Amino acid sequence: MSASDDIWILGINMTKFGKHTDRDAVDLAAEATANALADGGVTMADIGVLAAGNLMNAGAGIGQQLQKQVGQTGIPVYNVANACATGATALRTAIMAVKSGEAEMGLAVGVEKLSGAGLLGGGGTPRSEKENWEPSGRFGAVTGTDGRIGTNTMPGVFAQIGMEYGHRYGGTSFELFAKISEKNHAHSTLNPLAAYQKQFTLEEIMGDLMISYPNTRPMCSANCDGAAAAVVTTGAKLKTLSAEQQRRAVKVAASVLTTDPWEEACQVLPNVNTLTRNAATTAYEQAGIGPEDLDLVELHDCFATAELVHYDNLLLCPEGGAVDFFESGAPWRDGSTPVNVSGGLQSKGHPISATGLANIWEVCHHLRGEAGDRQIEGARVGLAHVIGLGSACGVHVLERSAA
């Protein structure tokens, strides 16, 4: 593939995450969109395709509703829903449209209003038991799965995943998982757009409300409101733009989306490990790099337990070596492979459909040298990762412009 066929992020923006009681999902999406366009030095008139993601708020047609506030230009709109990977899927949709030649520039947006949403996943209601069992449910046309072969609630799913890793490889403990959360909350104090910018002591984290062992409340991602948007273009189009636009553009060296593969095992329960490992392996091959080349990583730490297993799944350490990787100090901001310098989902927040693009926003700002007090000096290559149960995994490798 020639340099002119490369895909570049020209403009990108995220709103502050948190509670936005005075704005709805379309308002937040419009804010992120207008600022992403301005960041790239373009307008809606330059955009040839729009991919917009939302799960909870806008019903059908979030993309069309967004256009009514930012500009209706008759372009094709793809409304995207892919669980927590929705934002990354919107970006990949825009990338594919641009790469195919359908448009010279594409816009991807993800937005969610989640503050006060409560427990997500299993509905949060107890299962009623009948005296006589009756077949029902979707999986295998037999019965529902929650409470029978695990749980469908997100805290429970990722608690199981973390505990399984410990049983398989050893070295994990309640305190170790809490230390991961301690790191991310410490990082968040340097991120003005994070929903929470509070540093917690290890004792505060371990002593807080237990949600699903070993994850206490500060070790869980924060439901909040927010939006993020990105403008993508081709290498050929980028060459026609100003020197400043070329300097700030970030190359998409790899864009990968995977789903659960077939396995000779249970086909019902999600396998976030194989899902992510497959995506990471493909992304490194696409980008022509290895994990040792990464200057920073934003990964999907929906719970502290998830961050630990994804060190391994993203090949940041040898198989089974996630505990040693963390205890070496590598994932801290001043470590060899900084992870979740933004504060991660546990502090930055997790407005589901915006998260995938927000992780990319963080990496882009370090590659541009625009991350302020949390800047990773000399950052040239970064990786953004997100998972949506059901399941989908998005991995993007990004590189600094040589212009």
Q: What number of H helices and E strands is found in the chain?
A: 13, 11
Active-site residue identified among 20, 310, 350, 396: 350
For tokens 């959360």, name the residue.
Answer: 181
Structure tokens given for 400: 């600094």
For tokens 């359908």, name the residue.
Answer: 102
At residue 132, φ and ψ (nearest 5 deg) are: -110, 125
Q: Is 349 left (phi over 0), alpha (psi -120 to 50) or beta?
A: left
Are the beta carbons of 11 and 33 closer than 8 angstroms? Answer: no
Is 84 one of the annotated active-site residues of the chain? yes
Cα distance from N-terminal residue to C-terminal residue, the chain: 19
**Helices 304-313 and 174-188, axial angle in degrees (round to 10):** 90
One-letter amino acid of 398: L
Round to whole Å and give the CA distance between 187 and 49.
Answer: 35
Structure tokens given for 145: 């799965």
Are the beta carbons of 232 and 252 closer than 8 angstroms? Answer: yes
Is 317 one of the annotated active-site residues of the chain? no
77: β partners? 50
Are the beta carbons of 51 and 106 closer than 8 angstroms? Answer: yes
Residues designated catalytic: 84, 350
